[in-house]
Structure 1
Amino acid sequence: MLDEVRKYHEEQRNNRPFEPGVTEIWPSGAVLEADDRIALVEAALDLRIAAGHSSRKFESAFARRLKLRKAHLTNSGSSANLLAITALTSHHLGDQRLVPGDEVITVAAGFPTTVNPILQNGLIPVFVDVDLRTYNTTAERIEAAIGPRTRAIIVAHALGNPFPVAEVAQLAEDHGLFLIEDNCDAVGATYDGKLTGTFGDISTVSFYPAHHLTMGEGGCVLTGNLALARIVESLRDWGRDCWCEPGESNKCLKRFNYQMGTLPAGYDHKYIFSHVGYNLKATDLQAALGLTQLAKLDSFIAARRSNWQRLRESLDGVPWLILPEATPRSDPSWFGFVVTVDPEAPFHRAALVDFLESRKIGTRRLFAGNLTRQPAYVDQPHRVSGSLENSDLVTEHTFWVGVYPGLTEEMIDYIASSMKEFVGAHG
Structure 2
Amino acid sequence: MIDRDDLLRTIREFHEQQAQPPFVPGVTEIQSSGACLDADDKTALAAAAVDMRIAAGALAHKFETSFARRIGTRKARLTNSGSSANLLAITALTAPELGDARLRPGDEVITAAAGFPTTVNPIVQNGLEPVFVDIDERTYNVTPEAIEAAIGPRTRAVALAHTLGNPFPIAEIAELCSKHDMFLIEDNCDAVGSTYRSRPTGTFGDLSTVSFYPAHHVTTGEGGCVLTDNLVLARVVKSLRDWGRDCWCEPGESNRCGRRFGFELGGLPYGYDHKYIYSHIGYNLKATDLQAALGLSQLAKLDDFCAARRHNWARLREQLDGIDHLRLPEPTPYSNPSWFGFAMTVTSDAPFDRVGIVNFLESRRIATRGLFAGNLLRHPAYSGISHRISGDLTVSDQVADRTFWVGVYPGITDEMIDYMVASIREFVAGYQRSPVSSLGETR
TM score, norm. by length of structure 1:
0.99
Match of 1:98 in 2: 103
1:3 maps to 9
**Is 1:118–2:117 an aligned residue pair?**
no
Deviates more, 1:241-250 or 1:78-87: 241-250
Distance 1:310 1:161 in 2: 16
Q: 2: distance between equivalents of 1:195 and 1:157?
A: 12
Say whether residues 1:158 and 2:163 are aligned partners: yes
Secondary structure class of the residue paired with 1:72: strand
Report the CA distance between 1:321 and its aligned residue.
0.7
Are 1:74 and 2:75 matched, yes or no? no
Q: Name the counterpart of 2:347.
A: 342
Gaps of 5+ in 2: 1-6, 433-443
1:269 alignment partner in structure 2: 274
One-letter identity of the residue aligned with 1:384: I
Cα deviation per residue 1:212-245 (whole Å; 9 max; x = unaligned)? 0001100000000001000000000000000001
1:365-376 mapped onto 2 (5 Å cutoff): 365-376=370-381
Give the one of 392, 417, 421 matched to 1:416: 421
1:245 aligned to 224, 242, 250, which one?
Answer: 250
After the TM superposition, list the runs of 4 or more consecutive aligned residues in structure 1 that deviate by more than 4 angstroms. Answer: none
Letter in 2 for 1:227: V
Question: For residues 388 and 37 of structure 2, what CA distance do their matches in structure 1 show?
Answer: 43
Query: Match for 1:147: what amino acid?
Result: G
Which amino acid is 2:357 matched to? L
Match of 1:59 in 2: 64
Q: Which of the numbers 382, 402, 426 marks the counterpart of 1:397?
A: 402
Indicate the RMSD between aligned Cα atoms, in angstroms: 0.7
1:362 partner SS: coil
Secondary structure of residue in 1 paired with 2:83? helix
Q: Deviation of residue 303 (structure 1)?
A: 0.1
Structure 2 CA distance, aligned partners of 1:207 and 1:354? 29
The offset of 1:11, in angstroms, is: 2.8
Structure 1 segment 342-361 matched on structure 2, within 5 A: 342-361=347-366
1:423: how far off?
0.5
Q: 3-state SS of the aligned residue for 2:253?
A: coil
Query: Aligned-pair distance for 1:122?
Result: 0.5
Q: Deviations over 1:126-158 (max 9, x none)?
A: 000001110001011011111111111000000
1:266, CA displacement in angstroms? 1.3
Aligned: 1:28 with 2:41: no
Is 1:47 aligned to residue 52 of structure 2? yes
Correspondence 1:132 to 2:137? yes
Distance 2:334 2:228 in 1: 23
2:314 match: 309
| Structure 1 position 12, deviation (Å) | 2.9
What CA distance in whole angstroms lies between the structure 1 residues aligned with 2:135 and 2:348? 17
Relative to the length of structure 2, the TM-score reads: 0.95
Aligned to 2:436: none
Give, as a single letter, the amino acid of the residue that structure 2 aligns with 1:4. Answer: T
Partners in 1 of 2:348 and 2:122 — Cα distance?
34
Q: Residue in 1 aligned with 2:439?
A: none
**What amino acid sits opposite 2:17 in the alignment?**
E
What SS class does the counterpart of residue 222 from structure 1 fall into?
strand
Q: CA deviation at 1:351?
A: 0.5
Is residue 228 from structure 1 mapped to residue 228 from structure 2 by the alignment?
A: no
Give the C-alpha shift of residue 305 in structure 1. Answer: 0.1
1:297 alignment partner AA: L
Per the alignment, residue 206 of structure 2 pairs with 201
Distance in 2 of aligned mates of 1:40 and 1:164: 37
Aligned to 1:189: 194
The equivalent residue for 1:142 is 147
- The Cα of 1:10 is off from its aligned counterpart by 2.0
Partner of 2:302: 297
1:325 is aligned, of 309, 330, 354, to 330
Alpha-carbon distance in structure 2 between the residues aligned to 1:229 and 1:16: 45
Identity %: 69
Which amino acid in structure 2 is aligned with residue 11 of structure 1?
Q
